[in-house]
Amino acid sequence: MGAGRFAPSPSGELHLGNLRTAILAWLFARSTHRTFLMRVEDLDRARAGAESLQLADLAAMGLSWDGEIVRQSERSELYAQAISDLRIRGLLYECFCTRRDIAEASSAPHGAPGTYPGTCRNLTEADQAAKRELRPSALRLRTEVDSFTVHDELHGSYTGVVDDFVVLRNDEVPAYNLAVVVDDGAQNIDQVVRGDDLLSSAPRQSYLAQLLGYQPPTYAHVPLALNAEGRRLAKRDGAVTLAQLAASGINVESARAMILTSLGLPTGSLQEALTAFDPALLPTDPWVFSTDPNAVGTGKPIGWPS
């Protein structure tokens, strides 16, 4: 049996939406007798002290993980090996496009929104040399398909666009799509649970996994937590972190009960929730959260101040 994982970016404290996804990842892994791994995705968004705060909050919620914590910042050799392998096979090319270049190409009459149009795919060596004088290049994957299909526990068969995506940024930092694939493959992770805002990236990542010789994982892209205005929950939305909730008189147990209630699960403990967990019964709509106990979608968990 493989493994599941939770992989936060240490850019700040986790909010309730992050913690809800972490609990779901734990429930999916434990209910299928997989190991549950913790990975810190700190390639470019690390804030001093954020990792320790996040891990403390996860432990306070009752989550446990197996083995040592893995940090992307300590795995540069693995990413370099993958990039070297792809380069030797002729599957990479230099790209000099700016974000503006790509946005303008995507907005053209025949452009596909959000996808790379292949502008630098067939540059001559002379063209590349001239462009290197102007700006550093990124490395893109020379894909051989237009789309790829993955299996998702909640969304079923999902087919998404696969364009020539970046694997090494022009600042020589491995791109997320490469790092996450290499990490999941190296850690024997065969179950990925994360927010459904990342569903569209799964086909690209599964395609790359196959190129690198890894078995693509199964996915469960779970509904996000939204604020009262219907936007993705963020720390600016008020009391949404454990520390903020504690300052408002809401303890960790009540915060966890709030999350479990939103999933239709028993609120006594994570173990009770695990016993009752059935992916087929999970809500398919986003969780609308508000610090107002009378707001739609929040419910009124045990311990909410009157």
Binding positions for ATP: 235
Contact 232, 270 (CB under 8 A): no
CA distance 184 to 219: 12
Q: Is 5 exposed, middle or buried (CB count within 10 Å of its CB: 0-12, 13-18, 19+)?
A: buried
Query: What are the Cα distances from residue 76, in Å, to 11, 40, 71, 179?
Result: 20, 14, 10, 9
Q: State the DSSP H helix or E strand holding residue 131, giving kind and residue range, or none if neither.
A: helix 125-132
First-to-last CA distance in the chain?
46
CA distance 178 to 208: 8
CA distance 110 to 108: 6
Using the structure block, give the residue that is written with the tokens 């596909």: 112
- Residue 232 DSSP symbol: B
The distance from CA 282 to its chain's CA centroid, rounded to whole angstroms, is 19
Contact 43, 72 (CB under 8 A): yes
Please state the residue numbers annotated as binding site. Answer: 5-9, 41, 95, 97, 116, 120, 176, 194, 235
Q: Is 297 exposed, middle or buried (CB count within 10 Å of its CB: 0-12, 13-18, 19+)?
A: middle
- CA-CA-CA-CA torsion for 77, 185, 164, 110, nearest 10 degrees? -150
Please state the residue numbers annotated as binding site for L-glutamate. Answer: 5-9, 41, 176, 194
- Candidates 34, 38, 43; CA nearest to 68 is 38
The SS3 call for residue 195 is strand
Please state the residue numbers annotated as binding site for Zn(2+). Answer: 95, 97, 116, 120
